[in-house]
Structure 1
């Protein structure tokens, strides 16, 4: 039995979709436990490309069962469209997809509030939200007035929805935003709710039964990354959920001691989307090369990602919080063309050496990277199918990352395809 968690260990966008797709070959269950459709996992299978925002990546494996856990906030329009597209492309979902009746609903008023609040913030204080309504929906959850997937099954659900629309229109008016048409909104959403109803159930018993079954392998799929965690990330420039391994219990309803393996995913360099401090961010030709070769554009929003050298401070911090047992190191091939590669081993803040991520956003913004340089391999790795085929300098770089972070690399990616993945152990 293996109950594994895959978490992003930087600012998200590390390539979780591809690694999850590889890991699902041996998974009986794949579970999303937090976030919403503000995250996208890109998976390439043969000549087919899939971008999944809410659906667990295991849906692309015919035998895996998939769960959208209670810790998610679900955009019903987005999910219905995503599932219908999968069905059109020949992916079976009946009897394979289960949506927690405790997961909260993202409605259009959440998106409108998201955008209106962001617009009110001064330059330099904007969060860089995707405007998908994630924050306002989690706020409703904490404020105990949200709507959940299970409410869709109730006879008075439409009345509940209309009541919420009236309340949110009052809030939008305060923010100077136009009111929503309740009749039009209900007409827009009800077909999606009808489509999703057969998938809604209590997922907690089935997941607990699966993790107790010694013949079952369960994979918990995180979204975003530890540096976007609501508690441990670069607050307030974070998402609104617990993105690390600690979020699994609360987001899926399983006991903490059931987790047997934590896989942290990192790029061989670092990226982030949105606002907030980013100590190793590059504004020179090296940064442009990382972005171009790495095709660094968000899977959900298409926004260009900010790029920088590998930050070992961030990786160590994420490994500590998440109890990372092993790394999945992504996009090593993006570094193929560099004669010199840098890695941040610590920060300098006002003359003080800092070796962890400070809680103070002001202090983190003043942190300057302390780099060590590494001689690049300056030749392709994309055709490599084993560790032995890698250039010697590439193998040394991997060992260097392991030494700096204290975590071994067990999965290595040298390209976007399933086949461009090397399992080291």
Structure 2
């Protein structure tokens, strides 16, 4: 039987990822089998979880996924000793309109799985008020149970004492308090953390985080607070149709993001995945029947992509007879021009007419519900796809036929419709699930 818990906070940037990684590695160092999950659509954290535990982590999302899908995904923790789900944003933060099984809030997953919540509280600039915030979170939703609190970035022993006393007065357990410690800060860039696979020293950083947290937090008490959990068998699996039987998947530092549960679902349905690297000037596998370009950071490698003639000509030749699909960064590379943050324009593959610019930065963030106007690999016209969009590029031109009618989580129609031309399709959103 596994013990399950949720790591959450009042807001983003408080230290959820650091605490999750530290606890996972500390318990693993004690010989425990640890399984992590990420609540919400953040695509970067699962790779950090895998680095800490040695087990693949996946996203669970109440806005995009039904309960059966979530149950199926978390059942991979059945053979673990402890299961940790890292939350996103604040504990109750989600969208205004309910999705498939919730609003995307971490609290949805906590209530659905009956796992207690360990809050990370940063009391910088406050003292007793931190207890009021924790008590408010504890009492806000009856179905969500608070196990206790870990304080992060406490300024001094006196500061810690003030906060601890206030939390004790309102009946909230304090598992520990972490002073500021720059050595365990995870590097960031414009879409969040620098991805785990790009950090050669990630193992050492996680080890230091585990040592530091074990020194200041009662990790045995945290473990005892977890709920004994027996996964409920799911009535159905992921219900994902792979885009082809043999999939050429772009995979390197520029095309690093695809949801792990999607790859697993493709393989489970019998598809084969053949990875290739556009940055190494590789073309897609000629024996594949579809090519998929995921998101990532093409804007950081636009010059290399533009110069890699073998990749660009090979992709064009592939698209002459077989489908090619790009998500977000992959969609931009299917376009004609990508302008980087310095204002330098780079020629892309030209399979679509899309022109994008990072010199004119504008954040696009949120859930997306798309109704396909035409087929794309793995999905027929009329299919309703749920996904998530997060990028800073600006559309300069999007002249091709729209791929879909796309709404945000409030139901408003948005301009990022995706495009289609010939065998090429692309979207700005990353696919999470299809409505069934």
Specify the TM-score bucket, using the shorter chain as the normaliser. 0.3 to 0.5
Where relative contact order (Cα < 8 A, 6+ residues apart) is larger, the structure is: 1
| Structure holding more helix per residue | 1
| Structure holding more strand per residue | 2
